[in-house]
Structure 1
Amino acid sequence: MSVAESPELRPTLADVARAAGVSTATASRVLNGFARVRPKTREQVESAMSALGYARQRAARAATGPTGSVALVVCEEVPRLFGDPYFARVAAGAGKALNEVGLQLVLITVPATENYQTPVVRYLDGGHVDGALVIGMHGRRPLDLGWLGIPVVFGGRPVCGRFSYVDVDNRGGARRATQRFLDAGRRTVATIAGPQDMTAGVDRLLGYRQAVAGAGHGDRGLVVFGDFGQASGEHATARLLDRRPNVDAIFAASDMMAVGALRALRRAGRRVPGDVAVIGFDDLPIGRRTEPPLTTVRQPIEEMGARMTAELLAMLGGSDGPRRAVLDTELVTRISG
């Protein structure tokens, strides 16, 4: 379900904070009963809540009890959401875990528009869900969720902020993949890095750089960038072949980009793995059907969705402080690399 702007323009905590002349974090502390707030500040916030009707909304939510719903917020456009199996697998893991405790999953997509935050944040703050799971967050324009009165867990370490999250060992997985090339005697090892406004993209590039630096290699011309999608991997590989025609190994920071790389290499007449070895990251089902089958770094995607849900349920149960977990990755060897 894609969220449209609610016809009821209910005040958010950000509105309360502006009216009270304080930060949203301070307003949130007042709302949640934290003791370390000056009496005068507390009075300002409570007056603003009363004037805007925010306190009455919270009271109504408390009176009606839990909603029985949890939002899965996907920060990607709808075509990408349904074109990349990663998101469906996270949703499957989260949905199964919620179903086991009698809760339902509400899917929310976040389009890349100028006012994209308004309808989503109003929905999350409007008493419709008990908590939120967030995946695909980009750092350039992150959702401002730190002040919401519901618990939030991110899939992947957020670029900034002290939030609860479940991540995977992106750096270690990328380092192992790159090291496999080096151990096999590959001399010109490139990477198709992911978006650098996402920690997964940053960490996988860092893991690659650590491996090549440790082997005494390091050529900036061997780093090209994509958006984790197949088309970007294909285009990046074409640029790479123009720039470094002697490349003999490519670590792609996602399986979908690796699939694009295989297409570009085939079009250029390069044999895989004879001329150029390729390793991806994810272990999506498509990697077993490529020609040749794709060597990849397996990340436990369904398990991530389930673990995110477990952490959210713990927070709903009263657990304090940010909850964080990092899951292991595993190199899965097939023919391509």
Structure 2
Amino acid sequence: MATIKDIANMTKVSPTTVSRVLNNDQTISVLEETRLRILQTAKELGYKTILERQAEKHMESAKKTPNVGILLCQTLEEEMSDPYFLSIRQGVEEELLRQGITTTSTVRLYEAGSNPYIHDFDSLIVIGRISEKALKKVSDHIQNVVYINHSPDDSLYDSVVIDFVKSTELALNHLLKAGYKRIGYIGGVEKEHANSGKIKVEDERLTTFEKFMESEGLHDPRWTFIGEYQMSQGYALMKRALQLKDLPEAFFIASDPMAIGALKALQEAGLSVPTDVAIVSFDDIEIAQFTSTPLTTIKVHTKEMGHTGVKLLMDRLNGRTLPLKVVLPSELVVRQSCGAVK
């Protein structure tokens, strides 16, 4: 590789003069003819200054770094009211930084059609439920897509999910072992974003609850209450349940925010948890351990879901072609609300 000394020898000037000219030193006094001769010689020899080499290295690195988009199927209000999805997003962002990927943008589904950056993504991480057709309408050129908390087609796309069936059975078996027979259900409606808007889809927590209780000969549809996955709905649905003459002695509640709302309704009614009504909920968001009666709940490793989604994406970018579906385990965290802890 050519050096400053080589250029100095060919142009008959000192190495110091060559260095100052090549580094665009404005204080040097040199003939224009000499300056041009130095620049031309450096070009012919393929010499590059330190700044030029650093710039080329940076550009090469930028070319290799994927432009990753994060598509959120939740509005900001939905994300704030249910920290489940917020925690997944935080996990994604943490792992992207660990992987050295800073060229990312976060787009919410409702604004994707008008967002110009969506067309610049070469990879996409989708958090939430969106159909394949709806995703292609948003952007049909992205090859590497990872779904988190949803798997529309595991023969085509990488995905990270949890086993809602096993998780629900874990909660119900715990209540049965604690001696409860009259068990109610409070939950929301699962929806998928499609081209025609949101459509209702199966919520495996509900269907598993119904099948499990039927198999035990304990199912009573009067004890099932469905609304939206919001804290205020948990409160309102428990208010409805309290109108029953034979209130269930325990409830499986499909999200921690709904369980917190339900706790408030029971407290206002003068009922004690778990003495009068026991509760097992779902998610294990941070506040679950600090409620008036700490919640027994199914812990979902949401941040790890985000981490795993990014790792799957990086694996794809490194050449893997076979799609993978990763099912993360959940676990029961026992606190006071189920009556199993004295």
TM (normalized to structure 2)?
A: 0.71
1:253 aligns with 2:246: no
Structure 2: how far apart are the matches of 1:74 and 1:247?
37
- Name segments (4+ residues, structure 1) moved above 6 Å: none
Is the Cα contact below 8 Å between 1:191 and 1:252 reproduced in 2?
Answer: yes
User: Which residue matches 1:267?
Assistant: 268
Structure 2: how far apart are the matches of 1:316 and 1:287?
38
Cα 1:327–1:267, aligned 2, differ >3 Å: closer, same or farther? same
Cα 1:333–1:231, aligned 2, differ >3 Å: closer, same or farther? same
Is the Cα contact below 8 Å between 1:155 and 1:165 reproduced in 2?
Answer: yes
1:196 aligns with 2:190: yes
Q: Secondary structure at the match of 1:242?
A: coil
Structure 1: how far apart are the matches of 2:188 and 2:153?
18
Say how many residue pairs are matched: 268
Structure 1: how far apart are the matches of 2:112 and 2:164?
28
User: Which residue matches 2:50?
Assistant: none
**How far is the alpha carbon of 1:183 from its aligned partner?**
2.0
Structure 1: how far apart are the matches of 2:141 and 2:307?
22
1:88 to 86, 92, 96: 86
Structure 2: how far apart are the matches of 1:168 and 1:329?
7
Is the Cα contact below 8 Å between 1:117 and 1:143 reproduced in 2?
Answer: no
User: Which residue matches 1:174?
Assistant: 168
User: Which residue matches 1:106?
Assistant: 105
Structure 1: how far apart are the matches of 2:245 and 2:330?
30
Is the Cα contact below 8 Å between 2:131 and 2:152 reproduced in 1?
Answer: yes
Is the Cα contact below 8 Å between 2:151 and 2:161 reproduced in 1?
Answer: no
Structure 2: how far apart are the matches of 1:69 and 1:140?
21
User: Which residue matches 2:212?
Assistant: 211
**How far is the alpha carbon of 1:66 from its aligned partner?**
5.0
AA matched with 1:106:
S
**How far is the alpha carbon of 1:73 from its aligned partner?**
1.4
Greater CA radius of gyration, 1 or 2?
Answer: 2
**How far is the alpha carbon of 1:265 from its aligned partner?**
1.2
Is the Cα contact below 8 Å between 1:224 and 1:236 reproduced in 2?
Answer: yes
Q: Deviations over 1:193-213 (max 9, x none)?
A: 232335996111133223312
**How far is the alpha carbon of 1:163 from its aligned partner?**
2.8
Q: Deviations over 1:248-293 (max 9, x none)?
A: 1111111111111111111122210011111111111100100110
1:152 to 145, 148, 168: 145
Structure 2: how far apart are the matches of 1:332 and 1:265?
22
Is the Cα contact below 8 Å between 2:241 and 2:247 reproduced in 1?
Answer: no
**How far is the alpha carbon of 1:294 from its aligned partner?**
0.4
1:131 aligns with 2:123: yes
TM (normalized to structure 1)?
A: 0.72
User: Which residue matches 1:334?
Assistant: 335
Write out aligned runs for 1:1-337 (5 A).
65-66=63-64, 68-104=66-102, 105-111=104-110, 118-119=113-114, 123-124=117-118, 126-127=119-120, 129-137=121-129, 142-144=134-136, 147-158=140-151, 162-197=156-191, 202-243=203-244, 245-337=246-338
Q: Secondary structure at the match of 1:191?
A: strand
Is the Cα contact below 8 Å between 1:255 and 1:283 reproduced in 2?
Answer: yes
Structure 2: how far apart are the matches of 1:142 and 1:237?
35
**How far is the alpha carbon of 1:150 from its aligned partner?**
3.1
Q: Deviations over 1:98-126 (max 9, x none)?
A: 11221024221223xxxx55235x643x1
Structure 2: how far apart are the matches of 1:140 and 1:190?
35
Cα 1:141–1:293, aligned 2, differ >3 Å: closer, same or farther? farther
Q: Which ranges of structure 2 fall in alignment gaps of 5 or more residues? A: 1-61, 193-199
